[in-house]
Chains A and B, each alone.
Chain A
Amino acid sequence: MRLYVDSSRCSGCNACRVACSLSVFGENNPKKASLVIEPHFPAPGVYKVRVCTQCGDCAAVCPTEAIKQDAQGAYYVEFSECNLCEACVPECPEEVMFVRPELADTAWKCTACGDCVAVCGTSALWLGEKEAVAA
C-alpha cells in the first residue's frame, strides 16, 4: 500500500499535513508531517505535492535497521531504534524522509495510514497498491 497524489487537484490547504502529524506523532504540528506541499506563487500558481512511494531506499541504507516494513508493505520508522544519523535522508528520491532534531528525536516518514486521504476535500490524495516492479 502506498500514497498517490494528483498535484493538479491540490489546493494547498494543508489539512493533510495536520492529520499526518497527528497520526505520526499525536501532535498538531504540520512541520512534522510526512508529505510536502510546495506552493508556486504568484506564477505559475500551482501546488506541487511530494509523497512517499514506499520504495524502501531509506530502509536499505539504515544502519540500525530502524526502518521496517508493515504487513501492507509500507515502511515505518521504529522511533526507539533511530539514531538520527540522517543516512536515509539523501537516499529518498521524493525528499520526504525527514530528520529535524530541533523538532523530533527521531527520523520520520509516511506510514501510508490514510488519514491525509480522509481529510482531503479535493481528492488529490488516495491510497493504492504499490506498482509491480519490473524484474
Chain B
Amino acid sequence: MNGYGGHILRVNLTTGQVKKEPTPADLARDYLGGRGFGIYFLLKEVPKGADPLGPENKLIISSGPLSGLLVAGGGKCDWTCKAPLTGGYASASMGGHFTAELKYAGLDSIILEGISPKPVYLFIDDDKIELRDASEYWGKGSMTVEKMMKDKFGEEFQCAVIGPAGENMVSFAHINHDFGRQAGRGGVGAVMGSKKVKAIVVRGTKSVPVADLEAYRKAGMALYKACKDAEGLKEWTRYGTTIVTSWCNEVGALPTRNFSAGSFEGAQGIYGQTMREKIVVTDKGCFGCPCPCGKYSKTKKYNSYVEGPEYETIGLLGSNVGIDDIEAVAQANLLCDEMGIDTISAGNVIAWAMECYEKGIFTKQDTGGIELKFGNADAVFKMIEMITKKEGLGALLADGVKKASQEIGKGTEKFAIHVKGMEQSAYQTHNATAMLLAYMTCDVGAHHNRAWAITYDIQVGREKVVPEKVARVIWLQHFRPMFDVLGACRLQWVELGIDRDLYVPLLEAITGIHRTWEDIEKVGERIWNLTRLYWARENADFGRAWDMPAPRFYEDPPKTGVTKGQYTKLEDVNKLLDMYYEQRGWDSNGLPKPETLQKLGIPQELVA
C-alpha cells in the first residue's frame, strides 16, 4: 500500500506469539496512521474498564504515511494506550529514527498485548521477529541498555527502551530512544514495563512504495527548500525549543516555584542563550529534519552527556523547582532519561512536594532527611531516584500529583497543577485564557502540544474571554495533532512558518489519495471526539469537572513577576468551557451530542 509499511505486527506477550496482519486499506483511508490508528485500536480492542497495567491494556505503536520518507521531519512515532497516570487516553509522540525504521521493516504499527511471564525484548530484523530474553538488561538504565544493544546489533538498529521506572511501573514512566528522545507522557513506559518488555529493537531494509515517484520527489524537495529558505532556520537550529525560555520569562509564562509565579529571578541562568554557550556540543536532529531542535550537551560540573534540556524540561526542572543553573537542569534531565521518567511530570510533582515541604506539610521525617526546598538541585536528583525506586516519599510522588495530593489532603489539591491527572507542562496560565483552555481540554490532560495557543493570547489580549480564542484552540486541536497522525513533526510549520499547503501534493503523491487540509482536519475532529468518548467510557463520572484547571489559576494569583496579581476568574473559566462545548457540538457536561457524532461519521462499532 503506497506510503505504508503494509503490516500491523501483533505481539501476544502472554503466549509469545507474534503475527503480522496486512494494514487494512480502509483504516489507512479513514484514520491515516499514528494517533489515528492508536485511538481506533484502543477503542475497538481494549475492553472497557481494563486495568492500565493489566494484560487487557495494549500498547499501540504507530508510524504514519509521512514517516521515513522524503518529508522534512518525517520522524514521529505515536504510542497509544490506556494511561496509568490518568485512567484515560494516552498518546505520546516520540521523535528520532524509530518510526522510519518501522516502515523499512514493513510495519505501520506494533500492538503489544498481554503480559510476558519474564522480561523480554522484541527483536525485529525485517521479517525475523522474535521475543528474546531480557534478563541481562532488566534493572539497567534506558540509555545504558540502548548503548549495549547498539554495540551488540549495530548502528542500523533503532531501539526504544524503558528504564527502571518503567519496570517499577511509575505512573509517568516514559520510553527512551536515540539517547534522548522520548515517548514521554501519560505513563506509556509503565505500560511497557507492566508487559515486561524492556526494549524494542528494529532494523528494516525494505523500500517504502509511493504512488507517484516523480511528483513525490518534487513535492518533497519543495518542502525541504521552503524550510531551508525560512528566515527563522538559523536561530531555530541554534537554540531549538529553548528559544522560548527568555520570551516566556518576559511575558510571565515561565512556571516558577510550582506555578506560583510566571517570571523567575534566576531565569538568565537557564536561558537558551546561556545553555548554548555553556553546554551544547552538537545539534541533534530527528529523522529527516532540516531544522534540528535537539541540542546535545555536555556538563562540566557533572561530567555528563545528555540530549537537551528542551524548553519544557527547563521550565519544569529549572524555574519550577527554583533551579537557576542550566548544568543542574541538564543533570536532572539525564537522570530522568536514564531512570525512565517524564521530565515534565517529574518537575511538576517534585515542585508540589517542595511547596508542601516549605509550608510544613512535609517534614524531614517525610522526605527521609532531604531538605526539599526550592532551588536545591541535589534534592531534585535524590527525588528522581526515590520516585524511580518508589522509595519513601518517592512512592507517593510516583502516582502523580493528582493522586498524591488527594492522599495528603490538607488543601494541597489546590496547588496540585494538573488536568485530568496529567501534570501541566511549562506554560503558566494565570492570565492566558486560550492556553488555559487548551490545557483544560487537551485530550491527554494538561499537555501543551495539541494547542500551543499562548502566542495567540499575547496577540489578541491575554485576559480576553471571547469566542475567537475558543475557535482558535479548537482549530489547533484538529490541525496540530494531525501531524502525529501523519507521522511527521509540526515544528516546520509552527516554528519556521512554512506554507502548510506544501504538504497537500506531497501526501497525495505518497498515498495516491487527494486530500485538502480541510479533509485532514475533519479526520482530526473525528479523532478528537473519539478520544473524548474514550475518557467517558472509562470513567463513569467523566464530564465538565474533569476539564477544570488547577484552582491556583483562578484563586491564587502570583505574588511576584510580570503577572503579579493576575488570574482568571472562576466565572470566566466556566464561560470558556461553555463556549468550547457549544462550538464543538457537545452538551453542557462536555460530552459529544449524538448529532455531532453522526455528522462526523463516527462508526457505531467504536462507540457501542
Contact = CB atoms under 8 A, between A and B. Distances in A.
Interface of A: 9, 11-15, 18-19, 21-22, 25-32, 38-39, 41-47, 102-103, 115, 118-122
A13 B281 contact: no
Interface in B283-299: 283-292, 294, 296-298
B241 to A, nearest CB: 15
A28 B506 CA distance: 14
Contacts of B143: 42
Contacts of A39: 155
B224 A119 contact: yes
A19 B70 contact: yes
Contacts of A12: 284-285
Contact of B221 (A25, A43, A118): A118
Interface in B182-210: 204-210
B237 A46 contact: no
A122 B155 contact: no
26 contacts: A9-B283, A12-B284, A13-B285, A13-B290, A14-B97, A14-B100, A14-B288, A18-B69, A28-B68, A28-B70, A28-B208, A29-B205, A29-B208, A30-B104, A31-B104, A31-B205, A38-B155, A41-B147, A41-B178, A46-B282, A102-B205, A115-B221, A118-B224, A119-B224, A121-B233, A122-B285
Nearest to A123: B228
- Give the interface size bracket for B toward A: 35 or more
B207 A15 contact: no
Contacts of B414: none
Contact of B205 (A11, A13, A47, A103): A103
Contacts of A25: 207
A27 B97 contact: no
A15 B220 CA distance: 11
A42 B305 contact: yes
Contacts of A30: 100, 104
Shortest 8 CB-CB contacts between residues of A and residues of B: A121-B290, A13-B285, A11-B285, A11-B292, A27-B207, A29-B207, A28-B208, A41-B179
A9 B282 CA distance: 8
Contacts of B179: 41-42
B97 A22 contact: no
Interface in B78-115: 97, 100, 104
B292 to A, nearest CB: 4
A15 B70 contact: yes
Select the residue from B143, B225, B285 with max chain A CB neighbours within 10 A: B285
A32 B209 CA distance: 15
B468 interface: no
A119 B290 CA distance: 7
B404 to A, nearest CB: 32
A39 B286 CA distance: 13
A122 B289 CA distance: 10
Interface string B205-249: 111111001000100110011011000010001000000000000
Given A121-B227, A122-B237, A15 B288 contact: yes
B281 A122 contact: no
A39 B305 CA distance: 14
Nearest to A121: B290
B291 A121 contact: yes
A103 B228 CA distance: 32
Interface of B: 68-70, 72, 75, 97, 100, 104, 143, 147, 155-156, 178-179, 204-210, 213, 217, 220-221, 224-225, 227-228, 233, 237, 281-292, 294, 296-298, 305
B284 A28 contact: no
Contacts of B97: 14
A36 B48 CA distance: 48
Nearest to B210: A28
A119 B492 CA distance: 14
A13 B224 contact: no
A45 B207 contact: no
Given A13-B285, A44-B305, A47-B282, 15 more contacts: A11-B285, A13-B287, A15-B224, A15-B290, A22-B217, A30-B104, A31-B156, A31-B205, A42-B143, A42-B305, A45-B284, A45-B296, A45-B298, A45-B305, A119-B224
Given A27-B207, A28-B207, A121 B69 contact: no
Nearest to B205: A31
A119 B217 CA distance: 11
A28 B207 CA distance: 5
B156 A121 contact: no
A17 B568 CA distance: 50
A22 B221 CA distance: 11
Contacts of A46: 281-282
Select the residue from A21, A26, A43 with max chain B CB neighbours within 10 A: A43
Contacts of B213: 22, 26
Contacts of A18: 68-70, 288
Contacts of A15: 70, 72, 224, 288-290
Contacts of A102: 205
Select the residue from B210, B228, B297 with max chain A CB neighbours within 10 A: B228
A27 B97 CA distance: 18
B208 A121 contact: no
Contacts of B100: 14, 30
A32 B204 CA distance: 11
